[in-house]
Amino acid sequence: MFIFLSKFIPLLVYPLGAAAFLLALGWLFWNKRRFAKWMIIVAFLLIFAGGNRYVAYSVARSLEWKYLPQGDPPAADVIVILGGATEPQNAPRPSVELNAAADRLFYGAELYKQGKSTRVLLSGGDIEFLSTGVQSPAQDMSVVMQMLGVPKSAIIIQGKSQNTHEDAVYSCEWIKQNNLQSILLVTSATHMPRSVMLFEKEGCTVIPAPADFTVTQIAWQRLWHPNFEEFMINLIPNYSNLSLLTKSLKEYIGIGVYKLQGWL
């Protein structure tokens, strides 16, 4: 039940879900014109604020830039790549496919080829009520990693976890059982702060190796020094900004919930 609630309740907090909920309240209580008016106004403000680039980039940057790359990363006992970058081989897909977080796999494969570790642990299991694949996300990741040149003999599959907390628990459990300690942790930059805290809580020595950045230094500079055309594009709400803000809010909500659970 916790897994379901952790996926469902935030939908009502994210800007789009919250705005839809407020609009529904406004419609249900239309006879109370003052109340309905304020529900509609707040819903509009949520979409406007959440959908413009200034808000979306600022919130995302607060997460993504916490663990900026500091030159060439050191070697570690294991490269750990967290799931969320693949889509299962369901018809009519000809094979496992990649999504917007695919840079996790590309960067993890690159670190392996650079000799940063001889082991690559792929972490990601199925959420039962959302599962549509015949194998775990970790197994799907393994298919892609082998396509990228990482040999099967170097890959460890951890396919039991259903959230980031369990990623850390099960991955660090395997690492300790094999008398290993340090990990190069590869995940999306927005996801890295929560992931680092969880893996350190489980006793792993973590070297952050973030990928999948949205807010680059050039993009951030241009955001605050735009020409008129750029300013208007930045200000008007669009889906990509709303999606980025939602992804960032998911992390902050996750950190708060995990602290309440005692996992952080």
Give Cα 2 distance to the centre of its chain: 19
pTM equals 0.91
Q: Per-residue pLDDT tens for 63-93?
A: 999 999 989 999 999 999 999 999 998 889 8
- Asked if pLDDT for residue 1 goes beyond 70, the answer is no
Say if residues 2 and 165 touch (Cβ distance below 8 Å). Answer: no
Tokens 């300013």, located at residue: 231
- Asked if pLDDT for residue 8 goes beyond 90, the answer is no
Instruction: Look over the chain and give the mean of its residue pLDDT values, rounded to a whole number.
Output: 94
Q: Which two tokens stand for residue 124?
A: 């990601």
Say if residues 79 and 120 touch (Cβ distance below 8 Å). Answer: yes
Give Cα 76 distance to the centre of its chain: 23
Q: Per-residue pLDDT tens for 162-203?
A: 999 999 999 999 999 999 999 999 999 999 999 999 999 999
Rounded Cα distance between 53 and 60, Å, is: 10
Q: How confident is the model at residue 126 (pLDDT cuts 50, 70, 90)?
A: confident
> Going from the N-terminus, what domains does the chain have, and what CATH number goes with each?
2-65+226-261 (no CATH), 71-208 (3.40.50.620)
